[in-house]
Structure 1
């Protein structure tokens, strides 16, 4: 009796079963080795690398040559892996994402941030750069009374005014107690004497001149002297604080952080992850094809703020808007850049391994410094 008959299988069925066992074992072996057969076949031809201009990560020169942080990183990996490739550029981020998801390009190398919706469509390599969204505004801020009005109606301003009034009332009451029986100017009825005393205290505080009026008793004059000197210091401190607050408001403009975006005109790049973030924050915005057009809208007075990936904003401002646009010292909504590939691409693992090796090398630090400066942001 054969082995197959012992298992209760007919010869034909046994051949089919053996074939299935062989295919499953082969699939498992390929899966464990990262699909080398598929990778070898892919590397036999010229790889199509999709990209999109997004300085300083991907930039196309007048001669048609591509450079930038992402491009340089890919070139270095490709040289190590002996990968032959050619670039294919798209006009928008959504178009580049679609090209990678559909397999039109073998890998997308640009300024692509990793998001959940994109992860559902394609695969990402390990991240090679982390940053966040930045906010660009006009240098010096817009000429507006809004910052001044917010300062004058703020709780701290009202508290300071009430404190000064309270001090004047207390000192006026003390002066009245000391002078009401020795000074006819503060004498008479309680209402007349007390109101005269408080009025004198207020006039003395503002240093507008008190004429011949004033306390005549020694205790009253001591209180008056302390009050006049103290009120000078108090008024000076109060004036300096208000002036400083108004100056800062004027210099920084009406946008100082994320919370101010809901009150002003905001711009974002069409199809970018910035739009998703602004929608989640319930912030209205106007879309622009690129960061340069959005920053130009700020310069023309059509926008109050433009939100985009901070390093991309910093690069564009340094190149074209150095004297008219400033980048606030604010970073929110952490972003991670990576290369994108079609789902299941055999390129993902080897590229990720090489990428992680490179971003820990001295070469990477020099690259970031060359494009972004000291801080790498």
Structure 2
């Protein structure tokens, strides 16, 4: 046997082994890579988050929090959607970033207005919310408002009508029962005054009538008294308690009554657009729009008299008022222009991911998770 034969045999074995490995790679690995079932890992979504909008979305202590943020976190976990957060400082910049494809999803309580529907792509709405007006309540103004309500012509007419009605019933009773019995040894004037007082106040009515007609008149005075008392309670509740409390620097009963005032609103927000639309109606005194970088700065603007009122999301102002402990602040208008709120989506986001997001929102709403997250965010300090 030649000494070269073992070497040739080893080379042949190595070549054979290499051929087997190459064949296995061609038959198994390459076809599997081309199979449609071998899906690539899902892409990491770029999620823009609106900051400074507590309790909806805010960045504190190096972490994002808020009802909209927690809703997205729950949704992403259930749907296995990897993502990274990217901050945005205003609704305008977040909407613009989504429209330009700079972010795949914009998270915040963004109002789905008619103007925005034609320009941006939104997810399924997850809640309904409106606007509110926050003002600084002036104690002197509050006292003056109460005094004005107490001296209002309507209240004076109501009291005057009651006294006249009781006076007429007292006169009829005086005639029916007879002055000699009713005056009880006193003069006519003092006797009639006593009858008037008893019918007007109630106690003692069982002692002044002895005839059937007299008792009927006592019943009439009772009906006049309870009807007038009900009207007085309603009037005082509405005009002396609620209305003065809803009076800040000036009474505000509608958004139109913000005319001539300095109103703070976040740039690019629905609140800002609402104020601009009101000014475009040709108001005699235009509203001065004061930029509000973050909702929590509303307290500072009002305290330093740099704004007369703040217009923002009802939920945000309620949260601010609840946790500020400032009793000089008052929400005078609530739930104005109620609209749906949703996430904004990039036009480049694939339809399958959009459907997963919408289905998850619908499921979490049905399970009560959305409402629970909102309550939790409102109560969190």
Question: Once the 2 structures are TM-superposed, how far is the Cα of residue 338 of structure 1 from its aligned partner?
Answer: 0.8
Counterpart-to-counterpart distance in 1, 2:129 and 2:342: 12
* Residues 1:262 and 2:257 aligned together: yes
Does the residue aligned with 1:112 lie in a helix, a strand or coil? strand
Relative to structure 1, the CA distance from residue 132 to residue 259 in structure 2 (aligned partners, 3 Å threshold; closer, same or farther) is same
* Pair 1:76–1:228, CA change in 2 (3 A): closer
Q: Structure 1 unaligned runs (5+)? A: 1-36, 178-211
What does residue 106 of structure 1 align with?
Answer: 104
Give runs of aligned pairs for residues 165-244 of structure 1, distance below 5 A. 215=189, 221=191, 223-230=192-199
Is 2:46–2:83's contact at 8 Å kept on the other side of the alignment? yes
For 2:141, what is the secondary structure of its paired residue? Answer: coil
Asked whether the equivalents of residues 314 and 334 of structure 2 are also in contact (C-alpha less than 8 Å), the reply is no
* Structure 1 residue 361 displacement after superposition: 2.6
Give aligned pairs, total.
Answer: 295
How many Å separate the matches in 2 of 1:48 and 1:164? Answer: 70
Distance (Å, rounded) in 2 between the aligned partners of 1:237 and 1:85: 64
Name the residue aligned to 2:28.
none
Aligned-partner Cα distance in 1 for 2:140–2:312:
20
- Cα deviation, residue 123, structure 1: 0.5
Which position in structure 1 is the counterpart of 2:26? Answer: none
Alignment partner, residue 291 of structure 2: 288
For 1:117 and 1:49, the matched residues in 2 are separated by 23
The aligned residue for residue 207 of structure 2 is none
Q: Find 2:378's aligned residue among 368, 372, 375.
A: 372
Taking structure 1 as the reference length, what is the TM-score of the superposition?
A: 0.62
Maintained 8 Å contact 1:142/1:253: no
Q: CA-to-partner distance for each residue in 1:72-97, whole Å, 9 max, x for gaps?
A: 22222323333332222122111111
Structure having the higher strand fraction is: 2
Give CA-to-partner distance per residue, 1:261-313, whole Å, 9 cap, x none: 60674433322112334455668353332322223333345545423211111
Aligned to 2:247: 253
What aligned pairs does 1:287-366 form with structure 2 within 5 A after superposition?
287-289=290-292, 290-327=294-331, 330-343=334-347, 345-346=349-350, 347-361=353-367, 363-366=369-372
Q: Which has the higher mean CA deviation after the structures are superposed, 252-261 or 304-313?
A: 252-261
Aligned partners of 2:368 and 2:159: how far apart in 1? Answer: 58
Measured after TM superposition, the shift of residue 150 of structure 1 is 5.3
* Distance in 1 of aligned mates of 2:319 and 2:247: 22
In the alignment, which residue of structure 2 is the partner of 1:203?
none
Q: Do the aligned partners of 1:52 and 1:58 also contact (CA within 8 Å) in 2?
A: yes
How far does residue 71 in structure 1 lie from its aligned partner after superposition?
Answer: 1.6
Q: Map Cα deviations across residues 119-165 of structure 1 (whole Å, 9 max, x no partner).
A: 222100101122222333346766353553355344x2252365368
Query: What residue number does 1:57 align with?
Result: 56
In the TM superposition, residue 226 of structure 1 has moved relative to its aligned partner by: 2.4
Give CA-to-partner distance per residue, 1:155-179, whole Å, 9 cap, x none. Answer: x2252365368569969999xx9xx
Query: 1:170 and 1:139 mapped to 2: Cα distance?
Result: 44
Gaps of 5+ in 2: 1-35, 176-185, 203-224
Q: Which residue of 1 aligns with 2:25?
A: none
* CA distance, structure 2, for counterparts of residue 134 and residue 368 of structure 1: 17
The question of whether the paired residues in 2 share the 8 Å contact of 1:267 and 1:305 is answered with yes
Query: Which range is displaced more, 144-153 or 339-348?
Result: 144-153
Which residue number in structure 1 is paired with residue 124 of structure 2? 126
Q: Matches of 1:350 and 1:129 in 2, distance apart?
A: 18
Deviation at 1:115, TM superposition (A): 1.0
Q: Residues 302 and 164 of structure 1: is their aligned pair in 2 closer, same or farther, counting only changes over 3 Å? A: farther
CA–CA distance in 2 between the matches of 1:294 and 1:131?
Answer: 19
Q: Aligned partners of 2:99, 2:55: CA distance in 1, in Å?
A: 24
Q: 1:107 to 1:247 in 2, by over 3 A?
A: closer
Three-state SS of the structure 2 residue aligned to 1:359 is helix
